[in-house]
Amino acid sequence: MVAVEADGFNPAMPRPVDAEQTLLSASPYVDSWGRGRTIQNTSLCENGEGTLVFVAGTFHWPLALNEPEHLNPQVQRATRNLLSRMLEPRD
């Protein structure tokens, strides 16, 4: 699933003080730009107000949802769980 571009977690990158980032996956791959083996991460960020930001970390995430040659039941389930969580009422 890691293709075209991939993003990984960099703890040195700034983020809002009240935000927490949870890594959901760590997928090793060989970078085609010559940087060798690296890690792609999928993550979920949440701030103190409960706002959620999903970071797929790869352009091919949507393909796993609907494209026959890329269908992935784990990605479909993760997406369903994520959308259910995002649609839950906040206190």
User: Per residue in 9-43, pLDDT tens?
Assistant: 888 988 888 999 999 999 998 887 777 888 999 99
- In this structure, the dihedral spanned by the alpha carbons of residues 79, 37, 69 and 63, taken in order and rounded to 10 degrees, is 40
| Predicted TM-score (pTM) of this structure | 0.81
Spatial strand order of the sheet with 20-31 comes to: 20-31, 36-46, 52-55
Query: Letter for the amino acid at 38?
Result: T
Tokens 């990984």 map to which residue? Answer: 8
Encode burial over 59-88: b for 16+ CB neighbours within 10 A, e otherwise.
ebbebbeeeeeeebeebeebbeebeeeeee
Going by pLDDT thresholds of 50, 70 and 90, the confidence category of residue 73 is: very high
* Percent of the chain residues topping a pLDDT of 70: 100
Task: State residue 79's pLDDT score.
Answer: 95
Averaged pLDDT score across all residues of the chain = 89
Q: In the beta sheet, which residues pair with residue 36?
A: 31
Q: Is the pLDDT of residue 49 over 80?
A: yes
